[in-house]
Structure 1
Amino acid sequence: MRSTWCPRIGQANTAASQTRAPVGEGREEGEPRGRLRTGSVLADLDRSDADRASTIDGRRKGACLFCQEYFMDLFLLAELKTISLKVTTVNMLKPPPDFRTNFEATHPPILIDNGLAILENEKIERHIMKSVPGGHNLFVQDKEVASLIENLYSKLKLVLMRKDEQKSAALLSHLGRIDGLLAKRGTRFLTGDTMCCFDCELMPRLQHIRVAGKYFVDFEIPTSMRALWRYMYHMYQLEAFINSCPADQDIINHYKLQQLAPKQFGTSPTMGRARAEDTAALKMKQHEELETPTFTSTIPIDVSELNNVGEQ
């Protein structure tokens, strides 16, 4: 089932005044963070970011790339105590009356700031940058990185359509260029040793490439891309990524629904793609709801070697 995954943000909570780790660094278990909760209703806070959740059980975090990207942005700001953060999920097939009244058929992501709803991806990004406390620090200027990660996801979508060596080679080549930049710069993240908006964009896409690519067409990121694997090693240590990452099953189901919806419902002008996917979700086998969620986070090369990448 399709749901809304709702990170909600407000001004920093003064009660949680203990020191948090800087952006891009992990924290010890139990260290305070922006308020984070998973539930089934849309609660009222100063700001909120409504994101899509699991298409399997209607409660877990879902596989919407934009939702995870924006939530990671907000989580990093919560770590810096510029905002407080709470997450809830809303079943989009059976949304609560208040959500239905306020947003009708609008699909996530949705950003709510003091009652003002921002519904479009570009506007959400601009709002985080200009209006959310500390948000401007995440949006760095780096034309090389911006150009490099552009269109990566479109190459994955082409690969998933059917197994095709040429399309797989194009995706591998693109990943190779990212690996080359990381090796050349020798930094933990794309633009330095602290995270920025580009990392929040790239990391969810790498996870989709790894999980969905392997499942549908047996695509794997080569172990020879050591700088990229070093990057993913750090990615898997991040609280922002860990708390926002969907289960493998939800990533796989996300693409199953995309493939199933056109086959079952065609391209009817009366049924949008999102609605078709919602309807298809109802027809998925019930055993998927009972399957224990898994989260791929292993690194296939010796971690002790990763610190030397970029120094050779």
Structure 2
Amino acid sequence: MAQQQYSEKDPTIELFIKAGHDGENVGNCPFCQRLFMVLWLKGVKFTVTTVDMRKKPEELKDLAPGTNPPFLLYNGVLKTDFIKIEEFLETTLAPPNYPHLSPLNKESFDVGADIFAKFSAFIKKSPNNSLQERALLREFKRLDDYLNTPLPQEIDHNSTENITVSTRKFLDGNSLTLADCNLLPKLHVIKVAAKKYCDFDIPTQFTGVWRYLNNAYAREEFSQTCPANIEIEKAYESVVRQRK
């Protein structure tokens, strides 16, 4: 019985993520970073192994044949598909031992849903990408509007003070949630790759977006799980070559 309690409280978790161009450091994979952030925010003990996709070790081929990172071993049981892994972790690593990370507002998940697709179209068409740039900027404007609009929980209906602009740190409040674990890795890729290959900066007029990013980079759960800029730049070299 004591062993079972220990197992429930301290599961053995191994996260496998994509390695960078050197075969060792963290590579460019927003989905890998998403799960890395989730586990860190849960406050659970876990190990991280980077997988060199050019020469996948034999033991990993046996462990997860035909599976690309991210994947997970939870108490020795293989978990694949990052969406299902995230759902499993949120359900299994639950209060009172671990925090819930689901956002209160569904819109916090929805608001950034199209931004990465618009970025992908934008970088593929550069430099003749004015239409794609406008589409990308519309998504940033949508995100900025959401971040600057007070959420229902920010409004005190008993107060005489009228809050017109939100000051919250993240998508769903002042705590990082699953919505942030989904969006922030993508925003980091956009910020780095668009600057490198399109000379595009997120406009400073999007004050909500920049408040959000600055608050996120101040959190080690995000900043310490980001791939190095060179990993993102190398990942998009092939895209740049194909557009010429």
| TM-score interval (norm. to shorter) | 0.7 to 0.9
Of 123, 135, 144, which aligns to 1:170? 135
The aligned amino acid for 1:176 is K
Of 204, 207, 210, which aligns to 1:223? 204
Q: Is the 8 A contact 2:15 2:46 kept in 1?
A: no
Note if 1:145 corresponds to 2:112.
no
Of 16, 25, 33, which aligns to 1:50? 16
Deviations 1:114-138 (A, max 9, x none): 1211111221121112123456711
Q: Is the 8 A contact 1:12 1:84 kept in 2?
A: no
Deviations 1:41-65 (A, max 9, x none): xxxx8222211121x1111111101
The aligned amino acid for 1:87 is V
Distance 2:209 2:29 in 1: 23
TM-score, structure 2 normalization: 0.82
Q: Which residue of 1 aligns with 2:87?
A: 126
Distance 2:80 2:42 in 1: 21
Deviations 1:188-239 (A, max 9, x none): 1111111101111111111111111111222210011112111111111111
Cα 1:136/1:130, change in 2 over 3 Å = farther
Which aligned pairs between 1:67-146 and structure 2 lie closer than 5 A? 67-78=32-43, 83-134=44-95, 137-146=100-109
Distance 1:88 1:49 in 2: 6
Cα 1:247/1:149, change in 2 over 3 Å = same
Q: Which residue of 2 aligns with 1:60?
A: 25
Q: Is the 8 A contact 2:17 2:49 kept in 1?
A: no
RMSD: 2.2
TM-score, structure 1 normalization: 0.65
Q: Which segment is superposed worse, 229-238 or 116-125?
A: 116-125
The aligned amino acid for 2:132 is K
Q: How many residues align?
A: 217
- Report the secondary structure of 2:46's partner residue: strand
The aligned amino acid for 1:115 is G
Deviations 1:6-60 (A, max 9, x none): xxxx8767xxxxxxxxxxxxxxxxxxxxxxxxxxxxxxx8222211121x11111
Of 185, 188, 201, which aligns to 2:182? 201
- Report the secondary structure of 1:88's partner residue: strand
Distance 1:227 1:234 in 2: 11
Note if 1:234 corresponds to 2:215.
yes
Of 222, 225, 239, which aligns to 1:244? 225
Which aligned pairs between 1:158-307 and structure 2 lie closer than 5 A? 158-163=121-126, 164-185=129-150, 186=166, 187-257=168-238
- Give the fraction of aligned pairs with identical amino acids, expressed as a percent: 30
- Report the secondary structure of 2:55's partner residue: coil
How far is 1:254 from its partner? 1.4
Instruction: List runs of 5+ in structure 2 lacking aligned partners.
Output: 1-6, 151-165
Distance 2:239 2:136 in 1: 20
Cα 1:258/1:165, change in 2 over 3 Å = closer
Distance 1:244 1:181 in 2: 25
Q: Is the 8 A contact 1:11 1:46 kept in 2?
A: no
Instruction: List runs of 5+ in structure 1 lacking aligned partners.
Output: 1-9, 14-44, 264-312
